[in-house]
Amino acid sequence: MLVVLSLGLNLQWGHAGLFNAGVAAFVGVGAYTFGMLATGVVVADPTYGYPGHWGLSGPTDLIVAALVAMLVSGLLGILIAISTIRLRADYLAIATLALAEIIRYGFKNARSITGGDLALSSVPRPFALYAAQGWRSDGVFTLVAAAVLLLVLVMIGYLVRSPWGRAVRAVREDEEAAEALGKNTTVLRLGAFGIGCALMGLYGALQASWLYVILPDTFLPFATFTAYVVVILGGSGNPRGVVAGGYLFYALGWGEQEIKSLVRLPDWLNARLDYLLLIGIGLILIGFILFRPQGLLPERKYVPKVREPA
């Protein structure tokens, strides 16, 4: 699932050069939209301020809920980008990071809409009637997530190879030159930002379904950091590289859990292993930035074919 999030960020940062530090905000919007649609009809509880749910159920309705979550996140991204897209580099990062915190605190305090710190529970998984819980449910969800990732990869591959994708990369490399060639750079940047936010909303929907519950403190800035780590490790601007970076990041976490289960460590070391993993990831990231900034699979440079003179 993390790869879906990173692909959305890669479209914004890797292809369009837009530094979005508010990834967690769009993930949260997608998660809450999906949760409110997918949990069926729930009557509001005025005593505790718990909200009512909008009411959809069934496998096809989950697809509709996920599509609506993508639409809402994408539209929100475009609306925000209209006022911030002209900011550059660190200014855009500061604006989107502030936005993420505003939205997170909004989720936490708007109990009558989101449930606040009471959480939004009973979020269903796909095909729950056939695999309600346990390893079967996990297996079915893994297959669904893999199918979603494949569809996203096909879509992203088509976009980045299309004339639109080439124009977006041209804006990233030299915005003034692209404008001189007649490209509407603002529309191109808005489109890349909106599509990336829609994919972040899709990740939020998958995350909510996997965890069965949505809590506002899930959408911390660490989610943004994680997505950037995956993109940098795999290769900014290359969707296949992002997939490789996602599996490398997962392998590091899996290796830590295997060490905990197979090796008897001293209590003081076992309690600090999670923090040591973060330090290790940071050191690996610094190493990539210094010695291989293009990542595991660098972006393919587009070289137009020139016909030889007759």
22-75 pLDDT, tens per residue?
899 999 999 999 988 887 655 555 555 455 565 655 545 788 889 999 999 999
Give residue 256's pLDDT band: very low, low, confident or very high (50, 70, 90).
confident
Tell me what pLDDT residue 225 has.
87
As a whole number of angstroms, the distance between CA 37 and CA 39 comes to 6
Whole-model pTM: value is: 0.88
Whether residue 6 has pLDDT greater than 90: yes
Q: What is the pLDDT of residues 221-237, one digit of tens each?
A: 888 889 999 999 998 88
Q: What is the pLDDT of residues 260-291, one digit of tens each?
A: 888 887 888 888 888 888 899 889 989 998 99
Which among 172, 171, 193 has a CA at the least distance from the CA of 181?
171
Q: Locate 204 and state its tokens.
A: 């939020």
Tell me what pLDDT residue 45 has.
55
Share of the chain above pLDDT 90, in %: 33
Give residue 131's pLDDT band: very low, low, confident or very high (50, 70, 90).
low
